[in-house]
Amino acid sequence: MAQEDVFKKIVAHCKEYGFVFPSSEIYDGLGAVYDYGQMGVEMKNNIKSYWWQSMVLLHDNIVGIDSSIFMHPTIWKASGHVDAFNDPLIDNRDSKKRYRADVLIEDQIAKYDEKIEKEVAKARKRFGDSFDEAKYRATSQNVLEHAAKRDALHERYKKAMNDGDLDALKQIIIDEEIVCPISGTRNWTDVRQFNLMFSTEMGSTSDASMKIYLRPETAQGIFVNYLNVQKTGRMKIPFGIAQIGKAFRNEIVARQFIFRMREFEQMEMQFFIKPGTELDWFAKWKATRMKWHQALGFGADHYRFHDHDKLAHYANAATDIEFLMPFGFKEVEGIHSRTNFDLSQHEKYSGKSIKYFDPETNESYTPYVIETSIGVDRMFLSVMCASYEEQVLENNESRIVLHLPAALAPVKLGILPLVKKDGLPELAHKIHDSLRFHFNCQYDEKDSIGKRYRRQDAIGTPYCITIDHQSLENGTVTLRNRDSMQQERVRIDDLLNIIADKVTITSILKTL
């Protein structure tokens, strides 16, 4: 099945099973805004707990905060967002559709890669077992031509973006003969800058009101609280401040479901360090964060680093952790070495000193910062995409199963009485009442046992127990594993020990 179709199925599955709904759906929805349903919110909370605990619980020198969404507007002037948090935008005059110029060009670069892969696939088919792929890539005239065009375009694009040269971006779109996917024409406007921040008014009267912004990142709430936390927590450098919260961006091109939203959630950690040590810490955080991702068990081949071509003027290193989505490798997390840019800017704009006095060296300095910044929603999407499977079983039946990491699954245990009589529901409720304090269980007595297993598979429940007549006689139940579908008979008294160890966040934290 084409990856595009797989993705459509995942989106439909998210809606059908109560993970993600389009926002305001009965009013035909609101672009790039989504709501999490009864299953989605549990999984989202588990993702947040996994991140929070890995940061705050496992590090003595990282603490958390929860700052406001509304902040003083000068913060966004100081951070550079008022002047420079822009996307280059271009309109097609015929379709009246608006695009990000950089995205149009990046898609064009990807097309050259696709052409190369097609050539390689054709040759593999032609030559069979004797095919030497590396040699073919290095010598095929067609492959080399596509690669040369891709590299030249990439260089031109990098330079235009680095120089902020909007005319050069438009010229690339013209030279590459990029057409509007809707109208099929090349009738483009000039490229303009578009600020992504949403604004609103604070105050009751129009003359006394103040223009304020909905925060486009949670990071600034950390920077402006740096002194509060450092002083009240008696924190010594190196130390970190973590925060989870909503962020808002008026994205021009909102697409790919919850990948690019206008209201989303971030999990950010700013790690304050001594100037000069930043590249060591950058490398350490890269490794730590990759380990966090890979501990979920989807396989190392699902991840890669993508070092930035275009560094912000204040950054001296930046990389993305990309995840293999059905629409290719895409950024899920950014790791940035931000120097002392943000704290220095807030010193300048607020007029307050934000220095750290190092008692060991008797020096004062503005700390440098390594930032790790991950989108909750993108993380959610990556977990969904890697977990979704349509399986054909040995008996030729099929099932849809979410192989969610057990610690992230919304429901950990399905509790299923074989029949709705003979005292089986009563025993099932008794088991539920004793286990509900430890993890999320779902009781289900409706329909055949097979149908109930399928429902639990579709929401990713790692374990189900079936209570049958034997359970009344000898205090045992069958325990079914979601992935292997194997069943074993276990004692009711052992259920807590068997399951809890495998389904809690602690179970993954211990592997970090």
Using CB under 6 A, list all residues that contact ligand GAP.
Answer: 217, 219, 249, 251, 260-261, 264, 266, 268, 331-334, 371, 373-375, 377-378
What element of type H or E holds 54? none
Query: Which is nearer to ligand GAP, 305 or 357 (by Cβ)?
Result: 305
Tell me, what DSSP letter sits at residue 326?
Answer: T
- Number of DSSP helices (H) and strands (E) in the chain, helices first: 18, 23
Report the nearest approach of ligand GAP to the CB of residue 263 (Å). 8
Cα–Cα distance measured from residue 266 to residue 253, given in angstroms and rounded to the nearest whole number: 19
Report the nearest approach of ligand GAP to the CB of residue 383 (Å). 13
Closest to 257 measured CA to CA, from 330, 361, 352, 172: 330
What would the two tokens of residue 335 be?
A: 């790791």
Query: Which is nearer to ligand GAP, 251 or 358 (by Cβ)?
Result: 251
Report the nearest approach of ligand GAP to the CB of residue 407 (Å). 20
Per DSSP, the residues of 292-311 read: HHHTTSS-GGGEEEEE-SS-
Query: Which is nearer to ligand GAP, 374 or 416 (by Cβ)?
Result: 374
Query: Which is nearer to ligand GAP, 375 or 460 (by Cβ)?
Result: 375
Query: Which is nearer to ligand GAP, 52 or 453 (by Cβ)?
Result: 52
| Residue with smallest beta-carbon separation from ligand GAP | 375
Cα–Cα distance measured from residue 23 to residue 30, given in angstroms and rounded to the nearest whole number: 6
Report the nearest approach of ligand GAP to the CB of residue 21 (Å). 17
Report the nearest approach of ligand GAP to the CB of residue 266 (Å). 5
Looking at the DSSP bridge assignments, the partners of residue 428 are: none
Cβ atoms within 10 Å of 60's Cβ, excluding its own: 8
Report the nearest approach of ligand GAP to the CB of residue 220 (Å). 8
Report the nearest approach of ligand GAP to the CB of residue 96 (Å). 23
Query: Which is nearer to ligand GAP, 170 or 289 (by Cβ)?
Result: 289
Geometric angle at alpha carbon 368, from 365 and 369, rounded to 5°: 150
Cα–Cα distance measured from residue 39 to residue 375, given in angstroms and rounded to the nearest whole number: 19
Tell me, what DSSP letter sits at residue 129?
Answer: G
Query: Which is nearer to ligand GAP, 85 or 356 (by Cβ)?
Result: 85
